[in-house]
Structure 1
């Protein structure tokens, strides 16, 4: 199987054929969002983006790592622009140092903006967002070398970097073969393919977070050193040697974002808004949402700090060091929450992709048809199963991190983070127990 995957990556048709397909559908999405029906319930672009693509993207990260980043239309646009108009300047040190913080901030701002201006529920808003991102990609492609946007600025790339650490597919070089290599064709490129678009040297790579499985290094390596293999889910998180605070912060904030995404689609959201209106003496939705949004963002951070402080009594490490190291253990539960939330939209509204697609291509509009693929009870069962599996994987990850770093005091360090993970699981289960509104 590994050799089959390797042969695919070596093919001159990979990843080009996938890039053509995604760019084609991206063009349809942009066209229908901007020119199609103003109602999201009738817009094919809305269905493709928020009912199909957004729910399946975390599944791709789990199964194939950052494969999406190899075929993403934004990456294809970047490469095209760079080929004909690229100045190929070096990446500024500022981006190398603070890029992930920019990604964190962008992800939070886009989530906030969606709820303030209704981007998801507004086809024009979704189209404008995609065009704004495209503009940023073009500017980056013109100015900087390789895929600077994808590595240091793309909010989805940041999400992909975190989630792909749980992925079951990995690309690594063989150290014994690479130690005598002097060409470094995997990084620099050759006549066979460009160099690594995400600035990685395979022989030094310890994580899948910055590998998009583009296959360029496989095509370029003169010594056949690159191997593709499968690994247990989340196993990469167990042995992180240099944890980064900003990566853990993103993982922890994503938990808050999952809370927000669920809350705003529940009836209880209206009650919370009314309660906050009485407290703040304002009925301004932007003000009310911003306050609740900040609270939702803050709760996971504060709880993780408390757990980190508790662990510091056992391992004598600084609170922020535990925060950075053990924040990674939340990534499997983050991913599970993301999948569970969007599974509702995919399975409860999935047929809308067919209905809106039929209307777009043939002009035939079907009225009064249910968009559900399966029953609500089936969806609920799947959501709970996914959440529990994610929590188990997060608990095991926290245990492995503690065991690898605190072998003599594993349980005492693990305990506060196990409590934290269970609290987050219970919050998610409670939210998923409540009726959820649909997008389409």
Structure 2
């Protein structure tokens, strides 16, 4: 059954119609969204652009990363725009060294900045603000495409690319080549390109690729491979996280701060947020929202980072690895819980506000409805689904931490099992602590943002 399914997947990615058949409809919808943000209703719930983007698309996009990896990046309008710009005015310059070295840190910073701007300047509540953000991203894509080769923006600058790179490591889908076949190949058409398709837009070499983080499943390498070596197959979710050979602190850091950002997004939606903000203003001696939010934002991001650092320090006393290495390695173990918390938060938007997308779409055609509710499901049902997600997340993270510990620390000891377990225990405690914090927040009543 798996072989047949993998064969069907490969035929799809090898088709000359893919990904173009998905790119064009996506680009058309994207143009409508931008137009609506800039010139449509000023009410976020009545504006199709903001409703479609922040209630529907932003809510489900993490789920696509878990199921099919970075397939969205293959059909993303920004990627399509970059290719178009390169075709006509591209200089195809090599990627600057500092981008290669610090790209993930830049992505971390942009992701934090956009989230901060959302809350301080009301990006979601102000459709024109959302439109301006989209135009700024479009400008960055055009400039990047005009000067640098391939999809430099997507690989080194796109904040969504950083998020998708982390989550797609846990994906149930992977693209890999056959080492035995590739060993004798000296063509490298998968990377350089050929008659069937251009080279890998994401600077990946399938022959040596061992991660989903940067693969966008565009299918170009499959089309170009003269030996039919590259295949797309199903795998157990989170499996890639177990055996990461070159862990990066920047990627682990992104996973941890996303958890902090989700905390912030949840906290600011709680009914008690206004009262908490009032007490914080008294403590800080200011009623400037930008200042008070920045303080709570920094604290929320710092808490999981500090907890992971302390846990890594404790673990370093046991396994003799440095705190730095433990932080990098076990930061990946938090990705499943990170994803679960993120999706649990997004479920509230999708299922408590989902009908707003339909009503906003109808309003574009002059059909105006005065709904009594925008909820798709009841609050109790949504809460049950959120807790189910958190349960799967804690199981995924706990098991991932166990496999990371066994892979990295067990073989180095005279008693491998004991050494692995001792290295593992501090992270289980951390995962449980973060889960309980998430559960507590989701138990509190929330209000709509958009």
Give the alignment's TM-score, normalised by structure 1.
0.99
Partner-residue secondary structure (3-state), 1:63? helix
The structural deviation recorded for 1:219 is 0.2
Partner of residue 406, structure 2: 403
Partner of residue 314, structure 2: 310
Partner-residue secondary structure (3-state), 1:329? helix
The structural deviation recorded for 1:192 is 0.4
Quick check: 1:172–1:205 contact (8 Å CA) kept in 2? yes
Partner of residue 237, structure 2: 233
Distance 1:166 1:183 in 2: 31
The structural deviation recorded for 1:439 is 3.1
The structural deviation recorded for 1:61 is 0.2
Distance 1:370 1:287 in 2: 34
Partner of residue 246, structure 1: 250
Distance 1:365 1:210 in 2: 43
Once the two structures are superposed, the pairs formed by residues 36-435 of structure 1 within 5 Å of their partners are 36-360=40-364, 362-407=365-410, 408=416, 409-435=419-445
The structural deviation recorded for 1:271 is 2.3
Quick check: 2:174–2:235 contact (8 Å CA) kept in 1? yes
Give the alignment's TM-score, normalised by structure 2.
0.97
Distance 2:14 2:186 in 1: 21
Quick check: 1:41–1:439 contact (8 Å CA) kept in 2? no
Distance 1:369 1:83 in 2: 50
Distance 1:353 1:115 in 2: 21
Distance 1:332 1:80 in 2: 36
Per-residue CA shift, 1:287-324, capped at 9, x if unaligned? 10011111011101110011001101110111111001
The structural deviation recorded for 1:274 is 1.6
Distance 2:447 2:88 in 1: 46
Per-residue CA shift, 1:95-118, capped at 9, x if unaligned? 000000000011011111111000
Distance 1:283 1:372 in 2: 34
Which structure 1 segments of 5+ residues have no match? none
Partner-residue secondary structure (3-state), 2:233? strand
1:17 equivalenced with 2:21 (yes/no): yes
Per-residue CA shift, 1:276-296, capped at 9, x if unaligned? 112111111011001111101
Per-residue CA shift, 1:333-353, capped at 9, x if unaligned? 111111110111111111111
Distance 2:434 2:317 in 1: 22
Runs of 4+ aligned residues of structure 1 deviating over 2 Å after TM superposition are none
The structural deviation recorded for 1:268 is 2.2
Distance 2:126 2:146 in 1: 30
Quick check: 2:269–2:449 contact (8 Å CA) kept in 1? no
Which structure 2 segments of 5+ residues have no match? 411-415
Partner of residue 32, structure 2: 28
Partner-residue secondary structure (3-state), 1:243? coil
Partner-residue secondary structure (3-state), 2:211? coil
Partner-residue secondary structure (3-state), 1:40? coil
Quick check: 2:45–2:357 contact (8 Å CA) kept in 1? no
Compute the RMSD of aligned alpha carbons: 0.7
Per-residue CA shift, 1:355-388, capped at 9, x if unaligned? 110111x211101332111111110000000011
The structural deviation recorded for 1:203 is 1.1
Count of residue pairs brought into register by the alignment? 439
Distance 1:280 1:80 in 2: 50
Partner-residue secondary structure (3-state), 1:204? coil
Partner of residue 413, structure 2: none
